[in-house]
Amino acid sequence: MTMMLPMRQNHLIAAAVICLALIVYATLVKLAGRPALVGHAQAYWVVVIERFSAYGLLGFLLSFLLPGRIRLACAFVIAVAVALEVFQAMTPDRDPRLIDVLQKAAGGAFGVILAQTILAFLPRPPS
């Protein structure tokens, strides 16, 4: 049982790093190389769902890595959203906007809160 915990944590760390790397790539790559669910001529609501979901997943994974530390997980996700939007301002064909940061932060906070709610109902392992 004690061997499973570090291995599970390693998987969570790997998943969070991969999620963060994909978010960084999608945010900073030139617009023509950006991955899209439906295509590059997709509706605005699809883009909002993509942002919300990506940051929600990152917040969810971070919350499992930092159980009980809601503020730290939320602060990290929001800091990533703000930092990447600032870096996006330096990319010639991208247009950073405050509404994008708000959508990303909301998705991340939702993911953190969802994971913390799930963690609250999971049985605690014996110590």
Would you kindly state where each structural domain of the chain is located, as residue ranges?
A: 4-121
69 in Cβ contact with 115 (< 8 Å): no
Comparing 6 with 92, which gets the higher pLDDT?
Answer: 92
Question: Considering the entire predicted model, what is its pTM?
Answer: 0.86
Six token digits for residue 65 = 């890595």
- Alpha carbon distance 63, 68 (integer Å): 8
Is the pLDDT reported for residue 98 higher than 90?
yes
Is the pLDDT reported for residue 5 higher than 70?
no
**Residue 25 CB neighbour total at 10 angstroms:** 12
Comparing 1 with 69, which gets the higher pLDDT?
Answer: 69
12 in Cβ contact with 57 (< 8 Å): no
